[in-house]
Structure 1
């Protein structure tokens, strides 16, 4: 069967455009992958868990139990300070806002879901979301970065933290965040 040239020309043009669109899409996708960056942030997490200006509160415990971080099922809501250094007077760079739940029948082991909301410097307005298990007595606590926004859009990676001090109504942790983002 023979096809007329008036039929073949549009068909060839359509085939060429389809092939070009496929190559352009694949090239664009590869280009986006090469734009990923790794950012390492080092900061301190400051929490006041008692007093009138507490930034970490036990808001729910199972019936008949005391209000304690060690009570299985306890839910803690936080709006803690992120600072450049361990001193309470060091520069405020953001907030840690989220939830912790006492998820272990044996000792303190918290399920944490926290957003680091940066309010200063080049990451002002950006966030990093972490999720994971935190055992305050462990020498190192590793949690997963599950997302982000702003400069940390499509973030993934991990954090490593350790408790510096805990007592007198004040909780201090040192954080290293290793963030892969676009």
Structure 2
């Protein structure tokens, strides 16, 4: 292509790209950014009539037992309630559905992929999405919030976790969540 033609095409391409970009932004007004703080408890139970986490895959010849619930390579599917208080009988405010994959060879560490849907209060029907490493044997840890839906559309943030109760024999875990979410109204 000669220089004259190139000089004619470049401004047209630039105009085309700017038009596409400006039209894309015009249709997606996000509104004002907001910060929300949430506090709730995650109530996991691996045993009983209604377990909230179920082992669905493990490497061949891997033993999963009360003393080692998360050896390298195991996968759990979660459908776990979120409650207002530490007592498992306190008001349910949401549900976590997702996966935990044991990805630590040298120490117990899960990769946690889950949707936290809220079923009460002003956030009913909204959710946050978590994708983060979760070193479950550490009492205090942090997870990344990478998205959301409903009132938490375009969410990002973090969840500070504190394990309040863990019993390997009964396979019950209660984790306190203090969550900070940046999102748009």
TM-score range for the pair, normalised by the shorter chain length: 0.7 to 0.9
Partners of 1:139 and 1:72 in 2: how far apart?
20
1:58/1:67 contact within 8 Å kept? no
Confirm or deny that 1:172 pairs with 2:169: no
**Structure with greater Cα Rg:** 1
Unaligned runs of 5+ in 2: 1-18
1:70-102 CA-partner distances (Å, limit 9, x unpaired): 211000111001000001111100101110011
Give the counterpart of 2:45 among 35, 39, 48.
48
1:102 maps to 102
State the shift of 1:54 in Å.
0.3
SS at 2:61 equivalent: coil
2:5 maps to none
Q: Which runs of 4+ in 1 moved over 4 A?
A: none
Alignment map for 1:83-94 (pairs within 5 Å): 83-94=83-94
Alignment map for 1:107-126 (pairs within 5 Å): 107-126=107-126
Partners of 1:162 and 1:77 in 2: how far apart?
21
Confirm or deny that 1:62 pairs with 2:59: yes
2:129 maps to 129
- TM-score after normalising by structure 2: 0.79
1:70/1:108 contact within 8 Å kept? yes
Unaligned runs of 5+ in 1: 1-21
Higher relative contact order (CA closer than 8 Å, sequence separation 6+): 2
1:111-138 CA-partner distances (Å, limit 9, x unpaired): 1001101111110000100111111221
SS at 1:172 equivalent: strand
When the two chains are superposed, the root-mean-square deviation of aligned CA atoms in Å is 2.1
1:149 maps to 149
